């Protein structure tokens, strides 16, 4: 299982959100498993077309994922995924 880390911006909407191990051979599978534990989180991460929202980034092993539309990036057993929701405004 990969460890998934969340930035604090998401905890405002999901107070129980914590860094956790999730199963998934791809980023897509991992995101679907995160949704099972935290229902509704994908609506904060994905737009109406299912792609990552403009101000959301997912890092896999400290590099941005390549596939922001279908999330086919491969996830290995001990990988680290960081889900980063940038804040905007002023």
Residue 60, beta-bridge partner list: 63, 81
Could you tell me the strand order of the sheet in which 56-60 lies?
20-22, 2-6, 80-85, 56-60, 63-64
Fold of 2-85: Ubiquitin-like (UB roll) (3.10.20)
The pair of structure tokens assigned to 67 is 């596939």
Per residue of the chain (90 residues), what is the pLDDT tens digit?
999 999 988 888 899 999 999 999 999 999 999 999 999 999 999 999 999 998 999 999 999 999 999 999 999 999 999 999 876 655
Per domain, the residue ranges of the chain are: 2-85
């Amino acid at each position: 299982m990969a460890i998934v880390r969340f930035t604090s911006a998401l905890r405002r909407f999901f107070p129980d959100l914590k860094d956790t191990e999730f199963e998934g051979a791809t980023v897509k599978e991992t995101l679907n498993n995160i949704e099972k534990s935290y229902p509704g989180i994908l609506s904060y991460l994905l737009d109406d077309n299912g792609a990552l929202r403009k101000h959301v980034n997912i890092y896999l092993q400290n590099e941005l994922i390549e596939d922001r539309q279908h999330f086919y990036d491969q996830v290995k057993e001990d990988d680290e995924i960081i889900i980063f929701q940038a804040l905007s405004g002023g």
